[in-house]
Structure 1
Amino acid sequence: MARSIPSRLCIVGAGAIGCTLAARLAATGQPVNMFARGNTLTALNENGVRLTDLDGEHNAPVNASDDCVLLGEQDVVFLCVKAQSLPTLVPHLAPLIGPHTTVVPVVNGVPWWYFHGESGNMAGQPIQAVDPDGTLLASLDPAHILGCVVFITAETISPGQARSHNPHLMILGEPNNRKSQRLETIRQLIEDAGIEARASDRIRDSLWTKILANLTSNPLSVITGATLEELYSEPELTPLVGKILHEGLLTAAAYGARIDFDPPTFMKLGAGMGAVKTSMLQDYQHGRALELAAIGDAVVELAEHHGLGVPTTRDILSLARFLTRHPSRSSTDIVSVIAPTSTPSQERKKP
């Protein structure tokens, strides 16, 4: 990077994660630019960015704009948008990105850059589910990318305002798995903002941990309306979660990922997140597009490369997609089909 301490930061996207990151950074006195539009842009310029988390209330001014030319070239750009928005958005971000800019995608699911920095016959290959036309690989030199996995559960309260009830964690790593000065600089920047930040020399291991968390919770939450606590503890749902987890673990292993948890621990940790709605359930309830391609279809694509069957994952994705296309339909009948049958004396708990 051109500067040892980044002085120009831009957060692209002002949803729950974008606002959480912006608020923590801006509260330290770090100047923060934000790319936002519509009512959110107005709210940010009038009220600043606002966050309520375990450390209390954070409210700080930011420089928000919907014009990348006005924002200008940045040292660091955090992409905090939904995965499906990236192909149309990234080409318009060129004014933000100079020769020394680091781009940190804070995005769910399998990233489009997954095979960048890898060796073997898949090196440099696109992920069709998330970059079907190769737009992302063509629009952004992979050398700008710093890998990121975000473990932050937050929800949007109002435009420019977010709330979180759990600790914040971000894991950063170079796609080529090497240590670098920019990795440590950005890690320290985030750590100084009160967000636990770790540097990894195997970023894809952490990616798979988050991918499995999303895969086992997000699509199924759309079908059931269940919170994280319910998904990972309710006896009607845990068998399905277990099947999806098993399929995901096999796929992760096929790509050499090292997963540091066993299934019972994974389920316990998931239940411990509490009565939190997944980001996908929040999007579904607000009529927004869902990240099914990055969170689910991309995993299916990777499994197919190795001839692995993922039937439960496929079925859950199909049901979630059906509900998005028919929002007036109730999920009750679907749940009665996919959940294990109960005895007549048992009453099914509704999430």
Structure 2
Amino acid sequence: MTTAHPLRVCVAGAGAIGCTLAARLAASGQPVSLLARGAALAAINEHGLRLADLDGEHQVMVRASDSPAALGEQDVLFLCTKAPALAALLPTLAPLMGPNTVVVPLVNGVPWWYFHGEPGRFAGSRVEAVDPAGVLTQALALERILGCVVFITAEVLAPGVVRASNPHLMILGEPDNSQSPRLQRVCALLAAAGIEARASERIRDALWTKIIANLTSNPLSVVTGATLAQLYGEPELKAVVSKVFNEALLTAAAYGARVAIDPQSFMEMGAGMGAVRTSMLQDYEHGRPLELQAIGDAVVELAERQGLAMPVTRDILNLARFRGQPSL
């Protein structure tokens, strides 16, 4: 990150967020490598990436491969996979790593690095729900990680074809809340691609805002099939969402997070996102694994450490897990 050459940037994962990020970067003139596989890899190599967002239609070519060794050493690596895929993915990424490679996970829910760089009685702790037996911590040095919270809503229409209907926002921060040169450089990289990138001195505040947004919407969307507009706008669903919101907000406060949003504004913002189906609902509809561990179980685990109960959240997670069983 300190050399003068143009940044070597790789996006790992060709889902909705990965394709959106890679397309925006490539459209800005930034060379991008994309780690993909299967139908997405074939489509991207043949037709490029296609993104429709608020700025219009973008079709760009990127260097795509399913082999980290073929892509080589990178300066910045964006991890854009689902949380359940990380345990299998991280050990394969060694060929992408140089001595100063920065890894930016764009993953929903409580991150496995949550307590890295955090002082206090939980310093150095592990969140078992997202890093059982420390598999992720062992696979990737925590010092490489730059925290990131993604506020991008996107949907895959076909392999390599994505639609994003809201503004792009990413909040980044060092796990120890320092203002580092690498933080500023990654923010500048994203800003040049037309993505609003904010450098935070309290990354976990933004993290908890996103955790609460995910927790109040994703599992309940699987149970109900509702869009964001319905979850946060229909009276029957708002009543349930409010209970989950309060349970999560209390947990966030127990960890010192400052979530600067009131319940009414939160509901209005959620409803204003429109007829968007959550990523978890999309995964459910396509028979893919649900991110319940990172989005739900990890929050419950953190609450338990503080002696807090989350009864409504637990019930909804159980219902979503039941619905997500492969046989149903």
Q: One fold, TM greater than 0.5?
A: yes
Give the whole-Å Cα distance in 2 for the aligned partners of 1:4 and 1:141.
Answer: 24
Give the unaligned 5+ runs of structure 1: 329-351
The aligned counterpart of 1:189 is 189
Structure 2 residue identity aligned to 1:177: N
Structure 1 residue ranges (4+ consecutive) displaced by more than 4 angstroms after TM superposition: none
| 1:5–1:185 CA contact under 8 A, matched in 2 | no
The aligned counterpart of 1:174 is 174
- Structure 1 pair 5/202, CA: closer, same or farther in 2 (3 Å)? farther
The aligned counterpart of 2:292 is 292
Give the unaligned 5+ runs of structure 2: none
Q: What do residues 76-125 of structure 1 show as CA deviations (whole Å, max 9, x unaligned)?
A: 00000001110111011111111100000000000000000011221111
Q: 2:152 matched to 1:152?
A: yes
Superposed displacement of residue 70, structure 1: 1.1
Q: What do residues 164-221 of structure 1 show as CA deviations (whole Å, max 9, x unaligned)?
A: 1111100000000000111010001101101111000000000000000000000000
303-312 or 122-131, which deviates more = 122-131
| 1:12–1:81 CA contact under 8 A, matched in 2 | yes
Give the whole-Å Cα distance in 2 for the aligned partners of 1:100 and 1:2.
Answer: 8
The aligned counterpart of 1:118 is 118
Superposed displacement of residue 2, structure 1: 3.3
- Structure 1 pair 278/5, CA: closer, same or farther in 2 (3 Å)? farther
Give the whole-Å Cα distance in 1 for the aligned partners of 2:301 and 2:148.
Answer: 21
Give the whole-Å Cα distance in 2 for the aligned partners of 1:123 and 1:218.
Answer: 29
Q: Secondary structure at the match of 1:179?
A: coil
318-327 or 7-16, which deviates more = 318-327
| 1:6–1:75 CA contact under 8 A, matched in 2 | no
Question: What are the within-5 Å matches in structure 2 for residues 220-299 of structure 1?
Answer: 220-299=220-299
Q: What do residues 45-69 of structure 1 show as CA deviations (whole Å, max 9, x unaligned)?
A: 1111110001000111100001111
The aligned counterpart of 2:64 is 64
Q: Secondary structure at the match of 1:236?
A: helix
Give the whole-Å Cα distance in 1 for the aligned partners of 2:78 and 2:327.
Answer: 32
The aligned counterpart of 2:302 is 302
- Greater Rg by CA: 1
Q: What do residues 205-239 of structure 1 show as CA deviations (whole Å, max 9, x unaligned)?
A: 00000000000000000000000000001011011
Structure 2 residue identity aligned to 1:173: G
Structure 2 residue identity aligned to 1:303: A
Q: Secondary structure at the match of 2:229?
A: helix
The aligned counterpart of 2:218 is 218
Number of residue equivalences = 328
| 1:231–1:238 CA contact under 8 A, matched in 2 | yes
Structure 2 residue identity aligned to 1:78: F
Structure 1 residue identity aligned to 2:206: S
Give the whole-Å Cα distance in 1 for the aligned partners of 2:148 and 2:242.
Answer: 26
Superposed displacement of residue 325, structure 1: 1.4
Give the whole-Å Cα distance in 1 for the aligned partners of 2:207 and 2:293.
Answer: 16
Q: Secondary structure at the match of 1:109?
A: coil
Q: What do residues 315-346 of structure 1 show as CA deviations (whole Å, max 9, x unaligned)?
A: 00000000111654xxxxxxxxxxxxxxxxxx
The aligned counterpart of 2:10 is 10
Give the whole-Å Cα distance in 2 for the aligned partners of 1:17 and 1:66.
Answer: 18
Give the whole-Å Cα distance in 2 for the aligned partners of 1:230 and 1:33.
Answer: 38
CA-based RMSD of the aligned residues comes to: 0.9
Q: State the percentage of identical aligned residues.
A: 66
Give the whole-Å Cα distance in 2 for the aligned partners of 1:109 and 1:144.
Answer: 19
Q: Secondary structure at the match of 1:201?
A: coil
| 1:77–1:101 CA contact under 8 A, matched in 2 | yes
Q: What do residues 249-277 of structure 1 show as CA deviations (whole Å, max 9, x unaligned)?
A: 00000000001101111001000000100
Give the whole-Å Cα distance in 2 for the aligned partners of 1:5 and 1:169.
Answer: 27
Structure 2 residue identity aligned to 1:181: P
Q: 2:149 matched to 1:136?
A: no
Q: What do residues 110-161 of structure 1 show as CA deviations (whole Å, max 9, x unaligned)?
A: 0000000011221111110011121111111111000000000000011111
Give the whole-Å Cα distance in 2 for the aligned partners of 1:229 and 1:243.
Answer: 18
Superposed displacement of residue 25, structure 1: 0.3
Give the whole-Å Cα distance in 2 for the aligned partners of 1:223 and 1:264.
Answer: 23
Give the whole-Å Cα distance in 1 for the aligned partners of 2:53 and 2:46.
Answer: 21
Structure 1 residue identity aligned to 2:68: C
- Structure 1 pair 43/326, CA: closer, same or farther in 2 (3 Å)? closer
Give the whole-Å Cα distance in 1 for the aligned partners of 2:197 and 2:136.
Answer: 26
| 2:174–2:180 CA contact under 8 A, matched in 1 | yes
| 2:287–2:326 CA contact under 8 A, matched in 1 | no
Give the whole-Å Cα distance in 2 for the aligned partners of 1:117 and 1:85.
Answer: 24
- Structure 1 pair 45/326, CA: closer, same or farther in 2 (3 Å)? closer
- Structure 1 pair 108/6, CA: closer, same or farther in 2 (3 Å)? farther
Structure 2 residue identity aligned to 1:227: T
Structure 1 residue identity aligned to 2:47: N
The aligned counterpart of 2:29 is 29
